[in-house]
Structure 1
């Protein structure tokens, strides 16, 4: 099955040896997004809520470039350097997703690129 590389300037450019997303058939694999401003490639200023929203906005931009949106998410992985922010992730996630929610994992990690506090990746399945 052919692969399509997804790229948009509405989300941060890849800062390593990866693509923003890869589409295979109706499935889109979104690479991890940290709270980088797409224009400056710097971490956003603000509290954890600002960082979480920026990550969801980045994921949404890549999903849009693939022809979908966050509602097409079937699996979401959340990486946090401090699991005490898990409740805040749930609260903000409810602003971006409606039931039925995607499958999800939340994982505590020691560190993330650029000293970010949150990173998320996702798998989408596009219909039609």
Structure 2
């Protein structure tokens, strides 16, 4: 099955060998997304609301570049460093998914750099490619 790499305009160079997203058979797979600034440093260190908003905006740009919308999201994988951020993450998350909610899971774990508090990976169905 052929796949298409999805890289929104203005996307910086990833810190590891991956693409922001891939589209295959109408499904967009968005890589685990963190709140990086333009220089690949942690944006908004330890600020759960600001990081969640930036992460979801980045995910939104990948999905829109692939021809979809946030309404096409079917699954989110959420990773957070501390359960104390859960409420703040959910507050912002609810703004991006106001109607029918996608399936999701949320686990606590370490992330790639200190200061990150949330990472989200996403699957969206945007139709046949």
TM surpasses 0.5: yes
Which residue matches 1:106?
Answer: 106
Higher relative contact order (Cα pairs below 8 Å, separated by 6+ residues): 2
Structure 2: tracts of 5 or more residues without a match:
none
What is the deviation of 1:68? 1.2
Contact 2:72/2:126 (<8 A) preserved: yes
SS of the counterpart of 2:19?
Answer: coil
Alignment partner, residue 75 of structure 1: 75
Matched residue count:
126
Secondary structure at 2:92's aligned position in 1?
Answer: helix
What RMSD, in angstroms, separates the aligned Cα atoms of the two structures?
1.6
- Normalising by structure 1, we get a TM-score of 0.89
Query: Does 2:127 align with 1:123?
Result: no
Matches of 2:63 and 2:39, distance apart in 1: 20
For structure 1, the residue ranges without an aligned partner over 5 or more in a row are none
Task: Assess, with a 3 A threshold, how the Cα gap between structure 1 residues 48 and 54 changes in structure 2: closer, same or farther.
Answer: same
The aligned residue for residue 45 of structure 1 is: 44
Contact map agreement 1:10 1:62 (CA 8 A) in 2: no
Structure 2 length as normaliser, TM-score? 0.88
